[in-house]
Structure 1
Amino acid sequence: MLVMHDVGLIFVRTRKTAGTSVEIALSRHASQRDIITSLSPRDEALRAREGGRAPQHHLRPGHTTPGPQPVPPGPGPGVRYYNHMPAAEIREQLGPHTYHRYLTVCLERSPYEKVVSLYFHRHRTTPRIPIEEFIDTGEFRDALNWPLYTDHSGTVMVDQIIRHEHLQAGLDALTARTGLPTLTLPRAKAQFRPPGVTYRDLLTPAARKAVEEAYAAEFAYHHYTW
């Protein structure tokens, strides 16, 4: 999650949507007063290599990083802003006036694609558990982004949702609107999924049904189809 005060941009980071890559790209253009949340140690190392600005202004007043490494991603003691922070919480912390004055943006992707991406991210080496077992554990729901950019009533709280299948076009429109330079994305997590594997190859009829039920709100709003 980033808040870029000079640009007037809030990036609400969603799951399995290339959010890490976009956040790293945006952090290259962040200023000293912007809010940047922590990534995993592996992704922070990539951010440093890519010339991105390190986490800053994400802790509560009086709290400091306990060691040389950034605070782990996610909510925790002393953390005010974190990586997958829902828009409703961001608005509460920033204040409604600031939140609604800035351009708020997030990314979204077909739930089928997100579930398969999550499967390969969680199970990176062979032999992998069957996809049916992954579904049965309930882990496949961890890529649900709907609660991150909607309020308790299901009202969308961001100004722009960039769809993953049109990612570069969406980012180009964003940079044109904000005056940011063209964003060049690093490949943060693309290597986990074997080349050429599609969700149609992997999801069984039962798995497909489970995904469609768990992600019903996203399917309905974004009109994703099989």
Structure 2
Amino acid sequence: MIYSKKHNFLFLKGVKVAGTSVEITLSKICGNKDIITPIANIDERTRVQANIRHAQNYGPKKSDIKDFIQWLLQVPTEQITSRQAPKGIVNNHMPLKRIYKKLDELHPEIKQANIFAVIRSPYEQILSRVNHKVNFKGYKTSGETMHASQGRLRQELDNYIAKLRQRNLETYRSKNFQIYDSSFDESIHVQFIRFENLKDELNYALTRIGVKADVELPFTKKGLQSSNDLFKEVATHEQIKIINDYHKNDFIRFGYGMINPT
């Protein structure tokens, strides 16, 4: 999550929507008073090595953050997960309502910020999620491409569906639905940027608020290229129906069509 006082925007970081790539991109235009939350150590080091602003102003003492960044640059890659960034009052996947609650007293002007977030087809998010589940342990200590076989994707999809079915269908809300939820205040408008047009729509969102920058997106957490076609190859008809039922709110709110399970 990023709150830029300099440019008056709040970026809500969803899961499996290229959020880290967007955060690194936005960090390039942030000022020294902006709030930038930490990302995975391997990606934070990439951000620092590229001379881009790292995590800052999210709660810990500046000296604690400086000490962590110095360690991050010196530690061998195979040990990079042995220490975590200092904890703050906000974190990267925090829902909008909690961000307001945590920052309202210190930064009351945050409620006037332009809000944007990235959306993606639920099918592609789920594929990315299960691929991530298979490979992320290795990625955290190497930064290498994450690409699971279809057999492993099916195995992890089975696990995902099993956990999903333990949830109450009537009250279930996906992680991104919760992060982006603004129903607590009808005056709030969240601008959604579609993953499939990410660069163009991110540039448009920034131009709309007066930021003149043609952003280029780094390719972090590199994985398989998800698609509805690949999802149909991996998922069974029954699994598609279950996902359609549980993610109905996402399809409706974010404007993505459902696959016919029959």
Amino acid at match of 2:249: A
Equivalent residue number for residue 94 of structure 1: 103
Equivalent residue number for residue 5 of structure 2: 5
Aligned mate of 2:233, from 167, 188, 201: 201
Quick one: distance in 2 between partners of 1:91 and 1:3? Answer: 11
Aligned alpha-carbon RMSD (Å): 3.0
The question of whether the paired residues in 2 share the 8 Å contact of 1:84 and 1:148 is answered with yes
Shift of 1:62: 8.9
Residue 245 (structure 2) pairs with residue 219 (structure 1) = no
Shift of 1:176: 1.1
* Structure 1 stretch displaced more, 178-187 or 30-39: 178-187
Q: From the superposition, tell whether residues 186 and 143 of structure 1 become closer, same or farther in structure 2 (CA, over 3 Å).
A: farther
Quick one: distance in 2 between partners of 1:208 and 1:151? Answer: 28
Shift of 1:97: 4.3
Instruction: Give TM-score scaled by structure 1 length.
Output: 0.84
> What secondary structure sits across from 1:112 in the alignment?
helix
The question of whether the paired residues in 1 share the 8 Å contact of 2:16 and 2:128 is answered with yes
* Structure 1 stretch displaced more, 82-91 or 52-61: 52-61
Residue 110 (structure 2) pairs with residue 110 (structure 1) = no
Quick one: distance in 2 between partners of 1:99 and 1:156? Answer: 14
> What secondary structure sits across from 1:11 in the alignment?
strand
Amino acid at match of 2:8: G
Q: From the superposition, tell whether residues 154 and 31 of structure 1 become closer, same or farther in structure 2 (CA, over 3 Å).
A: closer
Equivalent residue number for residue 177 of structure 2: 146
5 Å matches for 1:15-94? 15-60=15-60, 64-65=64-65, 67=68, 68-69=71-72, 72=84, 78-94=87-103
Shift of 1:79: 1.5
Q: From the superposition, tell whether residues 86 and 115 of structure 1 become closer, same or farther in structure 2 (CA, over 3 Å).
A: same
1:106-160 residue CA offsets vs partner (Å, 9 max, x unmatched) = 1111101100011111113556262323422449x99630000114659695431
Shift of 1:93: 2.3
* Structure 1 stretch displaced more, 163-172 or 6-15: 163-172
Quick one: distance in 2 between partners of 1:194 and 1:162? Answer: 19
Amino acid at match of 2:16: K
> What secondary structure sits across from 1:59 in the alignment?
coil
Quick one: distance in 2 between partners of 1:89 and 1:134? Answer: 26
The question of whether the paired residues in 1 share the 8 Å contact of 2:58 and 2:89 is answered with yes
Aligned mate of 1:135, from 161, 170, 174: 161
Quick one: distance in 1 between partners of 2:41 and 2:111? Answer: 32
Instruction: Give TM-score scaled by structure 2 length.
Output: 0.73
Number of equivalences: 221
Equivalent residue number for residue 171 of structure 1: 202
Amino acid at match of 1:132: D
Which structure 2 segments of 5+ residues have no match? 74-82, 136-147, 166-171
Quick one: distance in 2 between partners of 1:45 and 1:78? Answer: 17
The question of whether the paired residues in 2 share the 8 Å contact of 1:29 and 1:180 is answered with no
> What secondary structure sits across from 1:64 in the alignment?
helix
Amino acid at match of 1:202: V
Q: From the superposition, tell whether residues 195 and 212 of structure 1 become closer, same or farther in structure 2 (CA, over 3 Å).
A: closer
Q: From the superposition, tell whether residues 195 and 60 of structure 1 become closer, same or farther in structure 2 (CA, over 3 Å).
A: closer
Which structure 1 segments of 5+ residues have no match? none
1:57-110 residue CA offsets vs partner (Å, 9 max, x unmatched) = 11256983474349847xxx8421111011001111232842321111111111
Amino acid at match of 2:179: L
Shift of 1:161: 0.9
